[in-house]
């Protein structure tokens, strides 16, 4: 995720900000522009239900229209209802969109009982991660045809009820909100011997299952997929039981997998690899927005400037992405260790794992360019 700048005063702002600390203007992320903007209340108002002008709208009734402070075109947005009612979102909704919720929030079909304070806090954290997922999927041009199919259910375990299992089925992503509890997530990470477990990672992983159905199954790539990942018809329940029962992955798993859990089943392999690809393009976008250049330790060939994978200039191919990714993750991990933290990216990608990552890159590139025979570069991405 790049660092943004306030469209009013130029000060650095971040994706989650709702107010510029420098000029004081309200901020919103405008999903149709894929950009943050300083906004101010417009004088006209909309009432979607009656088409009648609203006499005295309150700033919190969700009907207030906002303009960009740097734009006189009359283009307007409302704030997502989860912003006005819950203070849980900072996305705008274009004024001609009848939805009260933004493109991200409207995908949540079920939320836990938000009158319970802890549930509300956990839900807010999950929605923050989900908006980051939305941003990267939109940057990869993956939301245009599929965004409205993607549905989320964020559920809490209830006393005496069945345990909520995080996963994907039939286009619905379910997440147990306990994953938003830092202590509980850490406990599960340690219990499952995982080096990395985050809300964003969960959502990226589960979105991989969703897009497998659309980009592999529905686009007749199963044969190609199977060559690299194996037979997806392998009994899923049995495969997972074997993985957890046998105590994890084979000792040489790193030769062909991004992580141990990816060995559990070809679908899990794909979802983990997909998540790593989203990690990669997001981290490179972040690094490029800070104009990062890196020296490859031990390589005297000079420095590598990190290029925005979604930028307008020449677009890096997969080898260029990996060439930047490797030193950036080394830098990232070294800086974390300098602060006494563990590695932020506790993985090492081998040639076998990179082959699978390249396949994800090619599938996304081909899909995003309208299946026009693209070689899989990111060219043409960047639209909403």
Residue 42 contacts Zn ion per CB under 5 A: no
CB 281 within 8 A of CB 140: yes
Residue 271 or 354: the one with the smaller Cβ distance to Zn ion is 271
Task: Determine which residue in the list 29, 66, 91, 229 makes contact with Zn ion, applying CB under 5 A.
Answer: 91
In angstroms, give the least distance from the CB of 20 to Zn ion: 3
Residue 80 contacts Zn ion per CB under 5 A: yes
Task: Determine which residue in the list 23, 33, 228, 239 makes contact with Zn ion, applying CB under 5 A.
Answer: 23
In angstroms, give the least distance from the CB of 171 to Zn ion: 14
Q: Token match 């997922």: residue?
A: 133
Task: Determine which residue in the list 89, 258, 264, 283 makes contact with Zn ion, applying CB under 5 A.
Answer: 89
In angstroms, give the least distance from the CB of 18 to Zn ion: 12
CA–CA gap between residue 27 and residue 326 (Å, rounded) = 34
In angstroms, give the least distance from the CB of 182 to Zn ion: 22
User: Of 42, 101, 111, 384, whose CA–CA distance to 91 is shortest?
Assistant: 101
Residue partners of 149: CB distance under 8 A and separation at least 6? 171, 210, 214
Q: Which two tokens stand for residue 181?
A: 């509890």
Residue 126 contacts Zn ion per CB under 5 A: no
CA–CA gap between residue 176 and residue 27 (Å, rounded) = 31
Residue 82 or 324: the one with the smaller Cβ distance to Zn ion is 82
- Region from 65-73, 264-272, 293-301, 322-330 binding Zn ion, contact rule CB under 5 A: 264-272
Task: Give the 3-state secondary structure of residue 29.
Answer: strand
Task: Determine which residue in the list 1, 5, 9, 296 makes contact with Zn ion, applying CB under 5 A.
Answer: 9
In angstroms, give the least distance from the CB of 324 to Zn ion: 28
Question: Which residues, 93 to 122, sit near Zn ion by CB under 5 A?
Answer: 102, 105
Residue 128 contacts Zn ion per CB under 5 A: no
Query: In whole angstroms, how far apart are CA 217 and each of 138, 212, 224?
Result: 21, 6, 11
- The count of residues interacting with Zn ion (CB under 5 A) is 15
User: Of 106, 101, 25, whose CA–CA distance to 67 is shortest?
Assistant: 25
User: Of 46, 82, 51, whose CA–CA distance to 64 is shortest?
Assistant: 46
- Region from 23-31, 193-201, 300-308, 349-357 binding Zn ion, contact rule CB under 5 A: 23-31
- 305 - beta bridge partners? 293
In angstroms, give the least distance from the CB of 258 to Zn ion: 13
Going by the DSSP 8-state scheme, the letter that residue 78 receives in this structure is: E
Residue 100 or 325: the one with the smaller Cβ distance to Zn ion is 100
CA–CA gap between residue 131 and residue 89 (Å, rounded) = 9
Residue 22 contacts Zn ion per CB under 5 A: yes
Query: In whole angstroms, how far apart are CA 375 and each of 11, 150, 273, 370?
Result: 38, 27, 19, 12
Residue 259 contacts Zn ion per CB under 5 A: no
Residue 344 contacts Zn ion per CB under 5 A: no
CA–CA gap between residue 215 and residue 149 (Å, rounded) = 13
- Which residue ranges make up the site for Zn ion (CB under 5 A)? 6, 8-9, 11, 20, 22-23, 80, 82, 89, 91, 102, 105, 268, 271
């Amino acid at each position: 995720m790049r660092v943004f700048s306030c469209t009013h005063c130029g000060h650095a702002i971040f994706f989650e900000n709702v107010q510029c600390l420098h000029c004081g203007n309200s901020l919103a992320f405008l999903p149709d522009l894929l950009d943050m903007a300083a906004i101010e209340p417009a004088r006209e108002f909309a009432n979607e239900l009656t088409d009648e002008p609203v006499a005295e709208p309150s700033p919190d009734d969700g009907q207030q229209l906002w303009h960009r402070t740097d734009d006189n075109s009359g283009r307007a947005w409302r704030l997502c209802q989860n912003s006005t009612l819950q203070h849980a979102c900072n996305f705008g909704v274009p004024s001609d969109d009848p939805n009260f919720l933004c493109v991200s929030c409207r995908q949540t079909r079920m939320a836990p009982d938000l009158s319970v304070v802890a549930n509300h806090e956990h839900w807010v954290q999950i929605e923050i991660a989900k908006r980051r997922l939305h941003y990267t999927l939109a940057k990869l041009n993956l939301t245009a045809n599929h965004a409205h199919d993607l549905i989320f259910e964020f559920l809490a375990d209830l006393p005496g009820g069945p345990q909520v299992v995080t996963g994907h089925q039939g286009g619905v992503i379910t997440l147990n909100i306990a994953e938003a509890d830092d202590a509980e997530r850490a406990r599960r990470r340690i219990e499952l011997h995982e080096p990395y477990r985050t809300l964003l990672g969960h959502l990226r992983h589960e979105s991989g299952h969703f897009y497998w159905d659309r980009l592999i199954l529905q686009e007749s790539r199963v044969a190609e997929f199977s060559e690299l990942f194996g037979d997806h018809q392998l009994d899923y329940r049995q495969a997972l039981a074997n993985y957890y029962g046998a105590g994890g992955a084979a000792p040489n798993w790193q030769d062909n997998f991004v992580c141990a859990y990816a060995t559990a089943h070809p679908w899990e392999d794909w979802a983990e690899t997909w998540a790593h690809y989203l990690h990669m393009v997001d981290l490179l976008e972040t690094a490029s927005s800070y104009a990062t250049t890196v020296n490859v330790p031990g390589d005297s060939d000079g420095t590598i400037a990190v290029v925005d994978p979604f930028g307008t200039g020449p677009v890096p191919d997969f080898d260029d992405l990996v060439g930047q990714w490797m030193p950036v993750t080394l830098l990232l991990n070294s800086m974390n260790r300098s602060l006494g933290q563990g590695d932020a990216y506790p993985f090492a990608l081998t040639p076998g794992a990179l082959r699978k990552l390249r396949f994800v890159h090619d599938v996304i590139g081909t899909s995003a360019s309208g299946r026009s025979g693209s070689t899989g570069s990111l060219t043409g991405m960047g639209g909403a």
